[in-house]
Structure 1
Amino acid sequence: MTAGSLSPNTLMILKLESIFAFADEEKQALQNLPIQVTTLKAGRDIVRVGDRPSQCCLIHEGFSCVYKLTSEGKRQLVALHVPGDIPDLQSLHLKTMDISLASISPCTVGFIQHDDMRCVCERYPRLTAVFWRETLVHASIHREWLLNNGQREAYSRMAHLFCELLIRLKAVGLGEGDTFDLPITQVELADAIGTSSVHMNRVLQALRADGLIQTKGKQVIVPDWEKLKEAGDFDPLYLHLEEAGAA
């Protein structure tokens, strides 16, 4: 299955169902939520630091990233977002963006007006809880990234990130067995785990040589899930998915 084979509304429901049990009328309310779909090339900002958006962004196809820049222009990716994610839910309550969100691959995104989100949440109060829970999960992932990038070696950091992406993509039906698509450059992966692009290349070579991953174009294949988990010191608890124990 591909994300493009599902409507944005259906994909959003599928993602949220991985952390929450909906009543039928709540599902229907989300299915009826107006979503304006557009396509973006890779490397396009969706929102920037200082913006005051009136809408949230649902990732329908492709990958996006949340990033911060130093005053010298050095970039740190602080999150990767996959189809089904709503990376900027915080904008419902924080008027001014303190992060930038960009497409990291060619993307299809759906924009949901804040007024429509508030309306559906007022009518179905449990949906407020599910969106709040989704925001808390994003915060949990952010904390794990802080630990990963601050305390693990680059080899383990990358193994951990591969584990995370496989689990998150499988949660929305986009990982097939031990294989998932990763439309991200080595430079962007280096920005995500806080290393240089040269060292990133060495890390990927080492992971291949040790039999932890195989790559085929933009596909990543995990031959031995348990070995990859061990190398990345990976525990999926922080993802708070209903079933996140095995790939």
Structure 2
Amino acid sequence: MRATGNEGSLAQAVIRRFNLLRPLSEEAVAALEQAILEGLFRAGPGEDLVVEGDPVDSVRVVLSGWLFRHKTLEDGRRQIVNFILPGETCDAYAYLLPAIDHSITTATPVAYAEIKRSRFEKLMASDRTLAEAFLCETALNNAIQREWAINLGRRAALEKVAHLFCEIYERLRPVGLIDGNSCGFPVTQMDLADATGLSVVHLNRTIQELRAAGLITLRDRMLTIPDLDALKSAALFSPGYLQLYSKG
């Protein structure tokens, strides 16, 4: 559904994050804001933006809300392969392939901008800083995906869940979505189970272990981390792969 409200301020999450990836010129900021304002949409929770096998002819950037990438086996088993957060892109350059290889579904109400391929390519050609920011975004997504592979394949249950909490916290920080030591965490335990490769029962038991150790509070769709360093230690978390700051 096309958005009808004044969403201009929501573009700031994208601008803020991209400026950390690669400082944007004033012209790039103005051009990106205009493209966002002209392609605003809203979606409710549980809506598919794209389904595996669909052709893609645009780039979507998330202004508010959470989505997730996932793949589903023939028998219905689902693996969430990443969450997509405010300020991040859903599918940069996916239009270069014949079809997308995964589905993207909203976890919450979402506002997003859809930039058609022709408009996106003109934006990339018009300003080097903007083109570099989108390339950095793609490289960062690849780094996150590699870390998720390690999370699924090698970390113990408590490390998996703690690592995911640390990563989400660090990804929300650059776009100003941390309040003290808390952040919104609006996904279900089923979503978390499908993101970590655990059963819901095992996930719930692991969250209780983290709570009992005083490492997290998870209540009313809010995650609180009293001691981030302690949680990072429990998760064996090193944030080096989240290269959100430009090297110049």
**TM-score, shorter chain, exceeding 0.5:** yes
- Paired AA for residue 33 in structure 1: A
Cα deviation for residue 6 of structure 1 reads: 5.7
In 1, Cα distance between the equivalents of 2:7 and 2:112? 14
- 2:55–2:95 Cα contact (<8 Å) kept: no
Are residue 21 (structure 1) and residue 31 (structure 2) matched? no
- Indicate how the Cα distance of structure 1 residues 191 and 213 shifts in structure 2: closer, same or farther if over 3 A, else same: same
Cα deviation for residue 220 of structure 1 reads: 0.7
Correspondent of 1:62 among 57, 62, 65 = 65
Correspondent of 1:196 among 191, 194, 199 = 199
- 2:216–2:226 Cα contact (<8 Å) kept: yes
In 2, Cα distance between the equivalents of 1:36 and 1:122? 19
**Greater shift after overlay, 197-206 or 92-101?**
92-101
Are residue 239 (structure 1) and residue 218 (structure 2) matched? no
Q: Match of 1:82?
A: 85
Instruction: Give the root-mean-square deviation of aligned CA atoms.
Output: 1.7
- 1:59–1:83 Cα contact (<8 Å) kept: yes
In 2, Cα distance between the equivalents of 1:94 and 1:239? 26
Q: Match of 1:164?
A: 167
- Indicate how the Cα distance of structure 1 residues 242 and 99 shifts in structure 2: closer, same or farther if over 3 A, else same: same
**Greater shift after overlay, 157-166 or 82-91?**
82-91
> Counterparts in 2 of 1:74-223, with a 5 A limit?
74-223=77-226
In 2, Cα distance between the equivalents of 1:127 and 1:17? 9
Cα deviation for residue 177 of structure 1 reads: 2.2
- 1:43–1:105 Cα contact (<8 Å) kept: yes
- 1:170–1:176 Cα contact (<8 Å) kept: no
Percent identical: 32
| TM-score, normalising length: structure 2 | 0.92
Q: Match of 2:9?
A: 7
Q: Match of 2:32?
A: 30
- 1:9–1:33 Cα contact (<8 Å) kept: no
Gaps of 5+ in 2: 1-5
Gaps of 5+ in 1: none
| TM-score, normalising length: structure 1 | 0.92
Cα deviation for residue 11 of structure 1 reads: 2.2
Q: Secondary structure at the match of 2:119?
A: helix
In 2, Cα distance between the equivalents of 1:5 and 1:231? 39
Cα deviation for residue 28 of structure 1 reads: 1.9
Cα deviation for residue 36 of structure 1 reads: 2.1
Q: Aligned residue pairs: how many?
A: 240
Q: Secondary structure at the match of 1:85?
A: coil
Q: Structure 1: which 4+ aligned runs deviate by more than 6 Å?
A: none
In 2, Cα distance between the equivalents of 1:54 and 1:5? 23
- Paired AA for residue 119 in structure 2: D
Q: Secondary structure at the match of 1:18?
A: helix
Any idea what the Cα deviations from partners look like across 1:10-34, whole Å, max 9, x if unmatched?
3211111121112222222212224
